[in-house]
Structure 1
Amino acid sequence: MTTIERELHIEASPEIVYEVLTSPEHLVKWWPDEAKVSLAPGEPGTIAFLPDYPSVPLTVDEAIPVSRFAFTWAEDLQVTFTLTPSGTGTLVRFVESGHADAAGHAENVRGWDHFLPRLVEYVPTTVAA
């Protein structure tokens, strides 16, 4: 089983970063095309990457305001975002685990390497909005 790990610095408070990570209206600005997410642990939701993946299951595992957001998606991939105040912004530690095969792992590495920089760019724009 393989893991993807990244650390990001975002020029916004943990409160703003947490809101962007957990709010469907913000999620669709940097990650999926569509999102239906409940912050109640265990509640089912979905995300969509159109047209190839119109319905991907997502279940929140943990939602601790301003410090941690964890979910399982695509049935067996666990993602955790851990937020720590850092200077004028937030240090975000991202971990995704659960890849059973190398091809799926490589595809998600490419995906997260595309989407995480979008998160870093998008979050500060919500402060100005």
Structure 2
Amino acid sequence: MEYGSIEREIHVDATPEVVFDVVSRPEHIREWWTDDASFEPVAGGGGELVFGDREIVQAMTVVTVEPPRLFAFRWCYPDGTADELADSLLVTIELVPEGGGTTVKLTETGFREMGWEEAKVAAEHKDHSAGWSVFVPRLGEYAGRLAAAS
């Protein structure tokens, strides 16, 4: 199996503008993915993604902000500190308008570039793959609820 990237795609019954806010703003990310998040949604903005009661805290850096079509960030830095010279995983979320809704295309790359041994690459890829299989549908459900409420 190749462990270079993870790809997930889902159609959401919400406009790209609504979905963009859902994937790029900490107050929305907390509703479908992390337990807490704090960052500025601007290119170069740094912050953190928190899972559980701070059991896991991941530094993150926003890479691309192109409303309402593209949001990308880096995370999973080796020593837990955001460092533009360090290898990290890149999550790219592309939003494509489709029929009154939006197709969300999420891609996570960089597993092979982390310098991990093959077993660690496989384990991390499996863990992230399982996670996105849970969280991408939650993203869609949350964005759909927001759109329906407006």
Shorter-chain TM-score tier = over 0.9
Q: Deviation of residue 51 (structure 1)?
A: 4.0
CA contact (8 A) 2:6 2:129 kept: yes
Deviations 1:49-80 (Å, cap 9, x if unpaired)?
11474310110000001000000011211000
Q: Which has the larger radius of gyration?
A: 2
Write out the 4+ residue segments of structure 1 that deviate beyond 3 Å after TM superposition.
51-54
Q: Determine helix, strand or coil for the equivalent of 2:110.
A: strand
Q: 1:93 aligns with which of 105, 121, 128?
A: 105
- 1:79 corresponds to which letter in structure 2? V
Number of corresponding residues: 129
Gaps of 5+ in 1: none
Question: 2:8, 2:132 within 8 Å by CA — same for their partners in 1?
Answer: no
Cα RMSD (Å) of the superposition? 1.3
Q: Deviations over 1:15-41 (max 9, x none)?
A: 000011111111100000000021221
Q: Of the candidates 29, 32, 57, which is equivalent to residue 34 of structure 2? A: 32
How does the TM-score come out when normalised to structure 2? 0.82
Structure 2 unmatched ranges of 5 or more: 78-87, 113-120
Residue aligned with 1:120, SS: helix
Relative to the length of structure 1, the TM-score reads: 0.94
